[in-house]
Chain A
């Protein structure tokens, strides 16, 4: 495969960027859900 380092870097970025955002969003959502459940259990359902 020609230009392998460029292709590898592109695919690593292509997976890493959405993954970082997805994990960040999931953690933030889980934290918000936990905090809301602690304050108002009805609202978190």
Chain B
């Protein structure tokens, strides 16, 4: 009888990184390659945009706000894409690190979305004469911010973290419907917000003198986002490990009928302060 050839599952490779030790080793090696280029490119790009890039013939120097606003807007959407992908991996393949990564992407994505809204408001006041208008693009990005905040709250709302992660993953996937609305809002509706200057399907409608510093800023901000999320995920993996070790210690202590093992679990650095100790994951208050 011929041997049955089973198809290779796509999740198999992903699960190679489900091992916390392997992930921590790999992430520890990758972290400096994200952090230092992020710092150099972000500061270099912002300096280039602020001092060396030309002013716009129509907007004047106000166009320099673009070098912060556009990368943060790009990351607000790209961050949500990564949140939705991590949620998908967590729901479909039950990848144990995808849950943690999604929980760590949420606050960072919310921060960059808030930055996008704030800098857009600062750019809008001198150009449009208003801090805020209920324009389709602005409103859909505000909805994105609320989706991030909802995800953050939902993930941390349950005593059982697994339930929180699952509810958050469902919200993240449902909320992904907002992404094409954000992207195409300036095409579908008559908005005050300008249409895209950089398109995949055509040449950019922007001078190269402005485009290059913008690209440097965008790459720098993207690397910074990735570096922050990776550092937070590494910390979350370690915290999960700490909780597991403390629980194991506590169980061993209760099996021996002695509370001594718990002394170590609740000792200095482990249980100092309200709400700390077994079952508590720092940063998930």
Hey, which bits of chain A sit against chain B, CB under 8 A? 1-4, 6-7, 9-11, 13-15, 17-18, 20-22, 25-26, 28-29, 31-36, 38-40, 43-44
Contact = CB atoms under 8 A, between A and B. Distances in A.
Nearest to A31: B282
Contacts of B126: 3, 6
Q: Is the interface of A mostly helix, strand, loop or mixed?
A: helix
A14 B232 contact: no
Contacts of B21: 43
Interface stretch (B7-15, B143-151, B197-205, B239-247): B239-247
Given A7-B61, A14-B68, A32 B239 contact: yes
**What DSSP secondary structure best describes chain B's contact surface?**
helix
A1 B42 CA distance: 22
Interface in B162-217: none
Contact of B111 (A15, A21, A35, A44): A21
Given A25-B231, A35-B269, A6 B282 contact: no
B242 A36 contact: yes
A7 B246 CA distance: 50
A22 B228 contact: yes
A25 B67 CA distance: 24
B242 A14 contact: no
Instruction: Name the interface size band of chain B.
Output: 35 or more
Contacts of B69: 10
Contacts, number: 111
Contacts of A4: 61
A35 B283 CA distance: 14
Given A1-B61, A2-B60, A7-B65, A32 B46 contact: no
Contacts of A13: 68, 115, 118-119, 122
B114 interface: yes
A28 B282 contact: yes
A43 B61 contact: no
Given A6-B65, A10-B123, A43-B245, A28 B235 contact: yes
A33 B264 CA distance: 17
Contacts of A43: 21, 241, 245
B48 interface: no
Contacts of A36: 238, 241-242, 245
A34 B242 CA distance: 10
B227 interface: yes
B68 A34 contact: no
A6 B42 contact: no
Contacts of B234: 29, 32
Given A10-B122, A43-B245, A34 B65 contact: no
Q: Which 7 A-B pairs have the closest CB atoms?
A: A14-B68, A32-B238, A25-B231, A2-B60, A29-B235, A10-B65, A28-B235
Given A7-B61, A14-B46, A28 B232 contact: yes
A13 B107 CA distance: 16
